[in-house]
Amino acid sequence: MGGHSSPEADIRAIFAASMANLPRAVAVFSRVECFDNSRSSADPIRVLAFDRGSIIYRTDLLPVWAAALAASCTP
């Protein structure tokens, strides 16, 4: 996986743990912003922003992981 010196299995495990923790972060922190940095040739793109648990920004084309997060944080 581009640019990482860690084993792919470790990167995938960290990603899975991060995704599992994001809904909790949205519930605990007053503001959470999520960026997609999956394209190595581009700057990170803000895809979601939450304020006190509510979505205040959502890009038109959400990556799959961000769509799942948005769905899990919507009452």
- Where are the domains positioned within the chain? 8-72
Q: In this predicted model, what pLDDT tens digit does every residue of 47-62 receive, in sequence order?
A: 999 999 999 999 999 9
Residue 37 CB contacts under 8 Å (≥ 6 apart), including other chains: 44, 45
Angle of the 64-72 helix axis to the 8-28 helix axis, nearest 10? 30
pTM of the model: 0.79
**What is the arithmetic mean of pLDDT over 20-40?**
91
Question: What average pLDDT does the chain have?
Answer: 88
Q: Is the pLDDT of residue 41 over 90?
A: no
